[in-house]
Amino acid sequence: MSEGGFRPTGAGGPGPEPRPPTAEASPTNGPEDHAEGGAGPAPEPERGEDEDSHVRDNEESDSEVGEVGAIREPVDAGASVADDVSLAALATQRDEYLDALRRLQADFENYKKRVLKQQTEHLERAAEALVVKLLPILDALDLAVAHAGDSPEAKVVAPIASSLIDVLEKEGLERIDPKGQPFDPNQHDAVMHEPQGANGGSEEHEGGGGEPQVSDVMRAGYRWKGRVLRPAMVKVKG
């Protein structure tokens, strides 16, 4: 090849060297221009693996959303039934606790009443024991008043005996003095018996039907709060 760009072409001598065709750049070159210019169609840009993974994730998400939407209604219904069962169990447990509390409260109230009753009975028994110890003193005062008669000593002993009896009666002591009343074996202790009509038949059946009567009281009896502490020692006629 010479410097002028010619080369020999056989016997005809040298001629101009052909240049390769070139495609001029154009802003509107399309596929046809590239074809004419000797280049193939422009390749489309390839998608990367991340973009494919993103597309697959979107498709899977859409599928899962569809499945969740399909089973949402049965799941909600099951949850509602479970809530109702739980509320019923809680209500049952609440009722059981309330019943147990009421029983416990009733038992405690009964316990308080029982303890109060026991304490009251204990105090009454203690007072009763004290009164029983005072009965011999009351008997001595009765004998002193009976034997004193109209003596000056009677004016001293009688007020003392009366004051002591008044104090004890205010606390619940009752004197049993059944002279002239029908005989009651629950409150009277008969130590002597006088046949009916022993005074010459002048007295008829007092109380009718020959019912025994208390003709004399040998020793007074006493009751404490309605209970007999000591029966009266009496003489019965009839």
Q: What pLDDT, in 10s, does the model give residues 197-229?
A: 655 444 444 444 568 889 889 899 999 988 899
Partnered with residue 223 across adjacent β-strands are 174, 228
How buried is residue 177: exposed, middle or buried, by Cβ count under 10 Å (0-12/13-18/19+)?
A: middle
Hey, how many other C-beta atoms are within 10 angstroms of the C-beta on 220? 19
> Smallest Cα–Cα separation from 131: which of 233, 223, 232?
223
All structural domains of the chain with their residue ranges: 174-194+212-238
**pLDDT of 238:** 76
What's the mean pLDDT in 106-120? 94
Q: Where is mean pLDDT largest: 25-29, 63-67, 105-109?
A: 105-109
Q: Which CATH architecture has domain 174-194+212-238?
A: Roll (2.30)
What's the predicted TM-score (pTM) here? 0.50
Q: Which residue has the higher pLDDT, 235 or 82?
A: 235
3-state helix, strand, coil in the chain (%, to 5): 55, 15, 30
Give me the percent of the chain exceeding a pLDDT of 90: 25
Q: How far apart are CA 183 and CA 232, in angstroms?
A: 10
Spatial separation of the C-alpha atoms in residues 152 and 144, rounded to whole Å: 12
Q: Is pLDDT above 70 for 50?
A: no
The answer to whether 181 touches 217, Cβ cutoff 8 Å, is no
Q: What are phi and psi for residue 166, nearest 5 degrees?
A: -65, -40
pLDDT computed for residue 60 by the predictor? 60
| Token representation of residue 173 | 């002591």
Q: How confident is the model at residue 126 (pLDDT cuts 50, 70, 90)?
A: confident
| Residue carrying the six token digits 């009975």 | 121
Does 77 have pLDDT greater than 70?
no
In tens, the pLDDT along 141-189 reads 888 888 877 778 778 888 888 899 999 999 889 999 888 899 998 999 9
Structural Rg of the chain based on CA atoms: 66
Residue 24: both structure tokens together: 């001029």
